[in-house]
Amino acid sequence: MLKRRDALKLGAAVAGAGLAAKYVSAGKQHDIERSPGNFPQSGLIFPQTFRPSLVSRPSPKVTPFTAPLFRMPIAEPVPESRLLDPDVGGTAPDPDRHQRFNEFPPQKFYYERLHQGRWTYHPEPPYNQGSLHFLFSSDNFTGIAPGPTYKAWYGEPVFVRRINDHPPIGESNVPWALSSFSIHLHNFHTASESDGIPQDYFDPGEFWDHHYAMFPAGQDPREILTTKWYHDHRLDFTATNVYAGHSGMWLNFTEYDSDNERDPNPRAYRLPSGEYDIPLILHDVQFDENGQVVWDFFSPAIQEIDGEYLPSFQHTTFGMLGDTMTVNRTIQPYLEVKRRKYRFRVLNGGPTRLYDLWLETDSSDPKARKGLKFIHLTEDGNFHTSPIEVDHFELWVANRSDVIIDFSHFNPGDNVYLVNRLEMRETGEGPTGRTLDEGDAIMQFRVVGGDVEDESRIPDYFNQQPDINFREVRRERTFDWDYDSGLFTVNGRLMDPNRVDVAIEQGTAELWTLRNTGDSWAHPVHTHMEEFQIYEINGKPIPAGTILDTKRDVVRLGPGDEVKFFGRWRDWFGPYVMHCHNVVHEDHSMMLRWDIVEPGMGD
């Protein structure tokens, strides 16, 4: 077996053609140095007089459902030789930097250029001049946010080079974020050095290479995943960097979920595909009077800093809520839809708001009420055993749900609305507990007439969930999630990227209990690399055939909740993390490091 210590030679030197390249490989080790000058964030509690910006300075209002939905382009592979060009790194992939690289050699190569520019959220003033933003570019797309949508197939390993083309740190046009990144392919089964853990960051002028082997955990076909997403995960700045624009969608396919609704394979799912398979990334955003994206800063005092009297800026540690709903970085967009089935891959991109999503319509036809249902296909990229019909579904930060909406129940000219009815506390710590009778409309679907062709279908069965075998369990662990003086803790400790909190032996299974010891906090807790199976919530088993009855990668940990799950850890070695995906909490140290180690080396 290829050992991690032998596989990862992450030296800083760049050989051969790399010496002439414009960019250099970041080449860092997983461990980093942290010092008082290393981009600190305040952890103080804000005063009782604080009012979040969505209350004290609301965003400028514009006409909803005026702008069409932005459809992200599909990333197109480049020849491997393109990576040798100086403007794309100037070096070939280095097999020694990646576990099992030669066992799973890349078949497709991509690169992304991360940079800054302006992004237009709405065509009306003040937004029509564009907001300063984090953007993506490559050979087939320029200056977009969200980033491109990747379509990847199991059995076709992928190589992605990500290049930091931002201004030097301290010279950014987006001063509340940081031009230093670690791009995480959210919970894909990926080697540590390609996972995008927070301490594996790359600065302006550097790049980071990611190798995705594209096989399911343990080579078990029941572990195959579908809808994933990628986002910045930079230590201490995940919330601000994702909020500023660095995220996108990643879609996995197989011979069954084949991206072809006309697939002749009798076992193919034939779900809606092509133009009828649409990612929807939800972000709530706050803007200033000039239409610029802002973070929720406030100025409670003046203090002396290096001999100068300056405002003491601080931001909320509870969470960041915006008052403007966006989908794919467009304010309350519309989408024209035909009278047929669509597959929507709905992602809560954060940073803090939670959703309870419903459908509403202005149709006067009583038959249209039948169309106000979702056919729920997946949870966090995992297919249910069978599709589930629901009136609504919750979406916590980083949750993904694939749903089908059948617009054949509506008439041309009808409008259907995606609506959020979950009320949040204004300071962001969690829901109020109220479900609103009239929620916030996030986007509009406009039903159009004309010829309709729909060869898609909704299968009766997808695949069986993996077994939970308690005899495999090597040990049990408990993690308490709490809040202490403006910082968030796990088991009473703040995140230290150089401290191994948990050492898990490769190939073993464990039982983890997650407890929310707060009485008002909501923590969408995410653990990297492997999916897990929840078997108990607050002492009660998971009901069969429900949305909860599937693998997932985010635990919805409400006030006082206790959740137990079964997990396996296979195939790779090295450090990973578990953290709250209210990423404001994560950035204020609600995270721990866990490592996969060789058998016999666990704690």
Q: Tens digit of pLDDT for each residue in 142-189? A: 999 999 999 999 999 999 999 999 999 989 999 889 999 999 999 899
For residue 242, the surrounding DSSP H or E stretch is helix 238-243
Is residue 61, in this structure, part of any structural domain at all? no
Mean pLDDT of 487-512: 96
Of 85-89, 111-115, 192-196, 313-317, the poorest mean pLDDT is in: 313-317
Domain span at 551: 470-597
Nearest to 397 by CA among 493, 482, 319: 319
Residues 537 and 506 in one domain: yes
Is residue 548, in this structure, part of any structural domain at all? yes
321: pLDDT strictly greater than 80: yes
Residues 99 and 199 in one domain: yes
Is residue 456, in this structure, part of any structural domain at all? no
Residues 253 and 291 in one domain: no
The better pLDDT of the pair 95, 485 is held by 95
Is residue 184, in this structure, part of any structural domain at all? yes
Residues 128 and 8 in one domain: yes
% of the chain beyond a pLDDT of 70: 89
Mean pLDDT of 51-77: 91
Query: Average model confidence (pLDDT) for the chain?
Result: 90
Amino acid at 63: T
Amino acid at 426: E
Residues 220 and 182 in one domain: yes
Instruction: State the DSSP string of 293-333.
Output: B---EE---EEEETTEEEE--EE-SS----SEEEETTEES-
End-to-end CA distance of the chain: 22
Domain boundary among 415, 447, 479: 447
Nearest to 86 by CA among 158, 145, 161, 140: 161
Residues 206 and 300 in one domain: no
Residues 528 and 576 in one domain: yes
Residues 83 and 181 in one domain: yes
Is residue 96, in this structure, part of any structural domain at all? yes
Domain count of the fold of the chain = 3
Euclidean distance between CA atoms 510 and 192, whole angstroms:
19
Nearest to 467 by CA among 254, 226, 222: 222
Helix H, strand E, coil C: the string for 352-369 is CCCEEEEEEECCCCHHHH
Domain boundary among 414, 447, 480: 447
Is residue 304, in this structure, part of any structural domain at all? yes
Residues 387 and 439 in one domain: yes
Q: Please identify which residue in the block is written with the tokens 């790779």.
A: 572
% of the chain beyond a pLDDT of 90: 79
**Omega before residue 524 within 30° of 0, cis:** no
Amino acid at 116: Q
- DSSP code for 39: S
Q: Please identify which residue in the block is written with the tokens 């492997």.
A: 530
Q: Report the 10 Å Cβ neighbour count for 307.
A: 5
Of the pLDDT bands very low, low, confident and very high (cuts 50, 70, 90), residue 50 is low
Is residue 459, in this structure, part of any structural domain at all? no
46: pLDDT strictly greater than 60: no
Radius of gyration of the chain (CA): 23
Domain boundary among 385, 413, 447: 447
Amino acid at 318: F
Mean pLDDT of 403-428: 95
The better pLDDT of the pair 421, 176 is held by 421
pLDDT at position 18, please? 37
pTM, to two decimals: 0.92
User: Parallel, antiparallel, or unpaired: how do β-strands 532-537 and 574-580 relate?
Assistant: unpaired
331: pLDDT strictly greater than 90: yes
Euclidean distance between CA atoms 445 and 541, whole angstroms:
38
Of 11-15, 54-58, 247-251, 378-382, the poorest mean pLDDT is in: 11-15
Nearest to 224 by CA among 70, 365, 383, 399: 383
Of the pLDDT bands very low, low, confident and very high (cuts 50, 70, 90), residue 597 is very high
Q: Compute the 3-state secondary structure of the chain and give helix, strand, coil in percent, each to the nearest 5.
A: 10, 40, 50
Amino acid at 95: P
Euclidean distance between CA atoms 149 and 156, whole angstroms:
17
pLDDT at position 505, please? 97
pLDDT at position 369, please? 87
Of the pLDDT bands very low, low, confident and very high (cuts 50, 70, 90), residue 20 is low
Residues 187 and 310 in one domain: no
Is residue 462, in this structure, part of any structural domain at all? no
Residues 102 and 138 in one domain: yes
Instruction: State the DSSP string of 42-82.
Output: --PPPPTT---HHHHSPPPP--TT-SBPP-PPBP--B-GGG
CB 415 within 8 A of CB 446: yes
Euclidean distance between CA atoms 436 and 443, whole angstroms:
17
Three-state DSSP at 546 gives coil
Residues 14 and 122 in one domain: yes
CATH number at residue 14: 2.60.40.420
Helix H, strand E, coil C: the string for 575-596 is EEEEEECCHHHHHCCCEEEEEE
